[in-house]
Amino acid sequence: EPEVTQTPSHQVTQMGQEVILRCVPISNHLYFYWYRQILGQKVEFLVSFYNNEISEKSEIFDDQFSVERPDGSNFTLKIRSTKLEDSAMYFCASGVKNIQYFGAGTRLSVL
Amino acid sequence: AQSVTQLDSQVPVFEEAPVELRCNYSSSVSVYLFWYVQYPNQGLQLLLKYLSGSTLVKGINGFEAEFNKSQTSFHLRKPSVHISDTAEYFCAVSKGGGSQGNLIFGKGTKLSVKP
């Protein structure tokens, strides 16, 4: 069964460093999303992406964040200068027919 | 804007007992409704969905949910739980009408099944 894959499973970085989280969506899906879950809190929407552009973003998704689909298969989330409060589990999802399928997540730890 | 309330943060239950996990939503527009399950150290797995049609929807692992528009609820039920159902369950809503919009999640309910 096709699935969304995310790498790495765990990323440790120093405050101020740039990180790139990678996702390979399900191949025939056209809609892509990033969510995050800070420990003990709700899963929160960050951004959605369709037709090679951002379709919607939340207040969390500020200028420190960017997304890209560089090669038609990968979908990346970049955080330019990480902060302690960026520590969270980041989930990628891809969607078709109004249903979203999630990857296993990348746990980002900012020290 | 939509919002989701899961009233119970933790639900302990004995094996083979029935369980209901409650979910209420708020929205001024039509919605799609979902339940996702997260097993320890794993991602979010789709359990079931309501997009349209019959208000009683069946999902994987013997779970079902009923969409009640008048009560704005989408409670999840299973008649007899197993130890393997121990996980965190998330109710989520998105804008309807084919919008492919983002999901709004509840805080989650941790189901703990005891032998």
Find, among A10, A13, A32, A28, the residue nearest to A90 by Cα. A10
What's the rounded Cα separation, in Å, for the pair B17 and B114? Answer: 10
**Domains of chain A (ranges plus CATH)?**
5-104 (2.60.40.10)
**What number is the average pLDDT over the span B32-43?**
91
The shortest CB-CB distance from B100 to any of A44, A98, A105 is to: A98
Count of A-B CB contacts under 8 Å: 58
pLDDT in tens, A45-96: 999 999 889 999 999 999 999 999 988 789 999 999 999 999 999 999 999 8
Average pLDDT of the residues of chain B? 93
Residue A64, CB half-sphere, CA atoms under 13 Å: how many? 15
Range of the domain at B26: 3-114
Strand partners, A64: none
Nearest to B92 by CA among B54, B53, B50: B50
- Residue B97 pLDDT grade (very low, low, confident, very high; cuts 50, 70, 90): confident
A95 has a chain B CB within 8 A of its CB: yes
Q: How far apart are CA B52 and CA B19, in angstroms?
A: 25
Q: Which chain A positions have a beta carbon within 8 Å of B106's beta carbon?
A: 42
How far is it, in rounded angstroms, from Cα B77 to Cα B87? Answer: 14
Tell me the CATH number at B110: 2.60.40.10
Put simply, whether B50 touches A (Cβ < 8 Å) is no
Q: Apex CA B24: angle with CA B89 and CA B102, to 5°?
A: 70
A-contacting residues of B 75-114, CB under 8 Å?
90, 92, 94, 96, 98-108
pLDDT tens for B46-65 read 999 999 889 999 999 999 99
CA–CA dist B65, A101 (Å, integer)? 19
Count of domains forming chain B: 1
Whether chain B has a CB inside 8 Å of the CB on A69: the answer is no
Q: Does B11 touch chain A (CB under 8 A)?
A: no
Q: What percent of chain A has pLDDT over 90?
A: 83
pLDDT tier at B79 (50, 70, 90 boundaries)?
Answer: very high
**pLDDT, tens digit, for every residue of B16-27?**
999 999 999 998
pLDDT at B30: 87
Q: Give, as one character, the DSSP assignment of residue B17.
A: -
pLDDT of residue A44: 96
